[in-house]
Structures are given as C-alpha cells and as structure tokens.
C-alpha cells in the first residue's frame, strides 16, 4: 500500500533557504516512508524558457588572439583576450554587433584599435570577423588553443582553461584542434551559429533518486531529461512517460526534497525568477519484467 500516490511540485513554493527557482528545496507537510518495490516517474513538466542566449558563467566569454605578420617572432604582440559578453537574449545580428563592440573596446589603445569587426549572415547563419589592418593576424581560439595559451599573455577577464564558459566552441562551432590564423585577406567565418546552446534540461534530485542513472558528465542523480522544445519566452511542456522508465524509490523517506535543473555540462540553468513545476507519480514496480 502506497502512503502517497502523487506529489505536485512547484518552485514557487520552495523553502526560504532555497538558492533559486532552478535549485530549490520543497517541504512536504508530513513524512512518507515508501515501501519495497516502489518506483516513481516525473511527469507534467512545465519549465519557462527564460534563460538567455548568453548567460554569465555558462557561455559569456569570447576568446581572441591578436598578433601580426612580423617575421621576427619576438616582436609579435601575441595578446590573448578573454572578452566578457553581456548576458542577455541575442539574435545573430545582435550577437555580431556585441562582438564588434567588445573587440573594439578591448583593442582600444593598442596598435590595432578598431581593427576587428563582426557581421552576421542570416542566409547562412554564420558570423564573419574581418580586420582592417593589412599586417594584423588573429585567431578565434578553440578549447585546445585556450589550454596552450599560444605562448602569449592574457588581457582582460580571468579564465579557467578547464571551464572556459566560451561561445567559441558550442556557438561558433570551433569544436576541437587548433584554429588557423586569420588575416586581412582571410577573414574568420564561423560555423553555423547556434543560438540555442541548451538543447536539454536535466532535472536532478540527490535525496529521492536511486543513483541508477548516469549523465554525460558522470552525474548519477538525474531523474528526468527534458528536451528544450520551446523558444525563448515560451513554456516547455513535457508529459512524456514510459511504463518501464521508473526510478527506484524503495524504502525512501520523503520529507524535504531538493531539486536542481542543469544543462548538458552540469551547470545550473538560470530561470531569472520564473518558476518551474512537475509531478512525481509513485507506483509499485513490476519486478517480474
């Protein structure tokens, strides 16, 4: 006999000590001890697509290397820039404008002031970056470039080579390897610009799951994968359930539940104060199948 069949969760009613609407605790009015062979499903998921194209701590950095074609390597500037982009919603054209503005600001006062501009092509969904200086060379850095530092010095914001929080790889499609140098006659052209960097949400709970799932980054507390099926400012609704897609909750005591909504890399997805909701449905598992 189940002590409770269904729990309706809404982050609006999170505990006062919860960190946010995507990392919250939820107090039940009483404790429930679930019996042997009890499992649960997550359903009735409603998550507002309220995170931005560029989010601080997720993908708000643009990594740039600036040098020149001097035959004497020791006379090249070899400056690496970790450029912070404003966290907000962008179209492709707006992202190109932001890149132009921030590159101009960061190169101000150098020999190549105002030397780089970005433009966006709606027909190809690509961003092109050009230089107006004939002797200038530059790189839009890959993750491998960031780790090697290209034997240069860094200008601007601090960076973490193991967690670069960049747009270079996922959004501009500089996935791996080392980028080539771009010049006056050889501008940079991105891959298909991905303005939806978060494809799936992963609902985690460390005190209700059975550690029987695993994510791409080794997470064992995932209780639901939620595909991002709605654009910004719309509601993501997921009612999908499968009869054998239960998570074991045998002998679990339910009182205070904790939930986190993370992206593919295990980073908290900010909802900017908007609230998510879902249901937990409990049932006795069929142990014969």
Is the pLDDT reported for residue 71 higher than 90? Answer: no
Q: Concatenated DSSP letters for the chain?
A: --S-SEEEEEGGG--TT--BTTEEEEEEEEEEE--TTEEEEEEEEEEE----SS-TTTS-EEEEEEEE--SSGGGS--EEEEEEPP-S---HHHHHHHHHHHHHHHHTTSTTTT-EEEEEETTTTEEEEEES-TTEEEEE--HHHHHHGGG-EEEES---TTS--BSTTTTT---SS-PPPBBTTB-EE-SS--S----EEEEE-TTTS-S----TT----EEEEEE--S-TTSEEEE----TT--EE-TTPEEEEEEEEEE-TTS-B---TT---EEEEEEEE--TT-
Q: Which residue has the higher pLDDT, 56 or 74?
A: 56
Task: Give the mean pLDDT of the chain.
Answer: 89
Share of residues in the chain with pLDDT > 70 (%): 91
Tell me the pLDDT band of 77, cut-offs 50, 70 and 90. Answer: confident
Cα–Cα distance measured from residue 6 to residue 205, given in angstroms and rounded to the nearest whole number: 17
Cα–Cα distance measured from residue 78 to residue 181, given in angstroms and rounded to the nearest whole number: 12
Contact, 99 vs 53, CB < 8 A?
Answer: no
Please tell me the predicted confidence (pLDDT) of residue 151: 64
Structure token pair of residue 46: 């409603």
Give pLDDT tens digits for 33-51: 999 999 999 999 999 999 9
Global confidence as pTM: 0.89
Is the pLDDT reported for residue 111 higher than 60? Answer: yes
Cα–Cα distance measured from residue 140 to residue 221, given in angstroms and rounded to the nearest whole number: 36
Is the pLDDT reported for residue 241 higher than 80? Answer: no
Tell me the pLDDT band of 58, cut-offs 50, 70 and 90. Answer: very high
Give pLDDT tens digits for 142-169: 878 877 766 667 777 666 777 888 998 8
Contact, 107 vs 116, CB < 8 A?
Answer: yes
| Structural domains present in the chain | 6-51+198-284 (2.60.120.1100), 61-189 (no CATH)
Is the pLDDT reported for residue 285 higher than 90? Answer: no
């Amino acid at each position: 006999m189940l002590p409770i069949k269904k729990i309706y969760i809404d982050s609006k009613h999170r505990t006062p000590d919860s960190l946010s609407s995507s990392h919250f605790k939820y107090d039940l009015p009483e404790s429930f001890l679930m019996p042997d062979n009890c499992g649960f499903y997550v359903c009735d998921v409603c998550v507002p697509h309220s995170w931005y194209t560029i989010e601080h701590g997720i993908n708000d950095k643009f990594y740039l290397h600036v040098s020149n074609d001097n035959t004497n390597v020791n006379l090249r500037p070899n400056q690496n820039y970790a450029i912070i982009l404003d966290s907000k919603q962008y179209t492709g054209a707006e992202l190109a404008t932001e890149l132009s503005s921030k590159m101009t600001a960061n190169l101000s006062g150098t020999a190549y002031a105002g030397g780089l501009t970005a433009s966006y092509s709606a027909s190809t969904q690509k961003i092109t970056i050009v230089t107006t200086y004939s002797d200038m060379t530059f790189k839009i850095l890959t993750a491998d470039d960031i780790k090697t530092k290209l034997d240069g010095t860094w200008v601007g914001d601090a960076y973490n080579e193991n967690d670069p929080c960049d747009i270079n790889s996922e959004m501009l499609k500089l996935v791996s390897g080392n980028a080539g140098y771009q010049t006056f006659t050889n501008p940079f052209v991105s891959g298909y610009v991905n303005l939806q960097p978060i494809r799936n949400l992963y609902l985690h709970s460390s005190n209700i799951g059975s550690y029987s799932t695993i994510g791409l980054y080794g997470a064992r507390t995932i209780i639901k994968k939620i595909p991002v099926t709605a654009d910004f400012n719309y509601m993501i609704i997921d009612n999908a359930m499968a009869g054998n897609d239960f998570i074991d909750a045998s002998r679990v005591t339910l009182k205070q539940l904790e939930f986190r909504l993370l992206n593919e890399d295990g980073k908290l997805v900010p909802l900017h104060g908007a609230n998510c909701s879902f249901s937990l449905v409990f049932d006795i598992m069929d142990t014969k199948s």
